[in-house]
Amino acid sequence: MSLVDGNDPAATLAVLRDVATARETIVNTTTRAGRTRSASER
C-alpha cells in the first residue's frame, strides 16, 4: 500500500481502519437513501 512506508503494523492498521470507516459511512449513507443494504444489517 503506497500510503504506508515500510513495515509499520500500527500505521497499516490505522490506514485500513480509516478505509473501513469511510466505506461503512458510504454504505450507511446509501442505505439511508434506500438504494442498498449493508451485509451487516442482515
The per-residue pLDDT for range 5-32, each reduced to its tens digit, is 677 888 889 999 999 999 999 888 877 7
Going by pLDDT thresholds of 50, 70 and 90, the confidence category of residue 40 is: low
- Looking at residue 23, its pLDDT comes to 92
Residues 6 or more apart whose Cβ sits within 8 Å of residue 1: 12, 15
Going by pLDDT thresholds of 50, 70 and 90, the confidence category of residue 4 is: low
Contact 38, 27 (CB under 8 A): yes
Cα–Cα distance measured from residue 8 to residue 28, given in angstroms and rounded to the nearest whole number: 30
Residue 2 has pLDDT above 70, yes or no: no
Q: Where are the strands (E) in the chain, listed by range?
A: none
- 36: its cell numbers: 442498498
Contact 19, 26 (CB under 8 A): no
Residue 1 has pLDDT above 70, yes or no: no
